[in-house]
Amino acid sequence: MAVQPNETPSDAQWTAIVDCDASHDGKYYYSVSTTRIFCRPSCKSRAPKREHVRVFKTAAEAAQAGFRPCKRCKPDGLRLPDEEWVDAIAESIRAHYPERITLDALAEQQHVSPYHLQRTFKRVRGQSPADYLLRVRIEAAKTLLRESAAAIAAVGGEVGMPNAAHFATAFQKAAGCTPTQYRLAHRAPNPSKDGDVHE
């Protein structure tokens, strides 16, 4: 039976994907909705959840559907430029910064080694993924400090830094002041509680 684009894998296809069966290479490609990556059936990356997988007849169809070629198995010889790949990783970090993010988890998600991801990200962005993640978290914390009345520890927790002491130290190093000092210097004045206008 011909493979239709964006169909769920058959039992035989799923078995091939789980077993990294190279005999299925070229017959179809599979994509993973959570990572937006597509692979050959023989890709050695950890098997995704079946409900996140779709199959395509050609690599071109997978790419046209918005999926990026896997850096590990390079389906159909396609290779995403490093700059575009790093931008996609940075976008993922920005989308998930409140969560626990590690280099190993990012590398597994992108189907590459931690060393390759670290080296390429730093070459393209001029900073490591960990440094970029910290910058994103600090900027998000600044916004919360300016716009909310949440306690300092709660702000840290909301941006993915639940250890209050670590958050305060990292914030001071990045911003040049403590979270409390930043809030006092940048917080918008509160409107009068009784609704009166003061001139």
Question: E strands of 14-57, at which residues?
Answer: 29-32, 37-39, 53-56
List Cβ neighbours of 144 (8 Å cut-off, separation of 6 or more): 150, 155, 158, 159
Instruction: Using DSSP, state whether 30 is helix, strand or coil.
Output: strand
Phi/psi of residue 179, each to 5°?
Answer: -55, -40
31 beta partners: 38, 54
User: Residues 20, 39, 70, 177: which is the catalytic one?
Assistant: 39
- For tokens 């684009």, what's the residue? 5
Exposure on the CB side of residue 14, measured as CA atoms within 13 A: 12
Asked whether the beta carbons of 39 and 30 are under 8 A apart, the reply is: yes
Q: Is 39 a catalytic residue?
A: yes
Neighbours of 119 (CB within 10 A): 12
Whole-number Å distance between alpha carbons of 10 and 183:
56
Indicate which residues carry an active-site annotation.
39
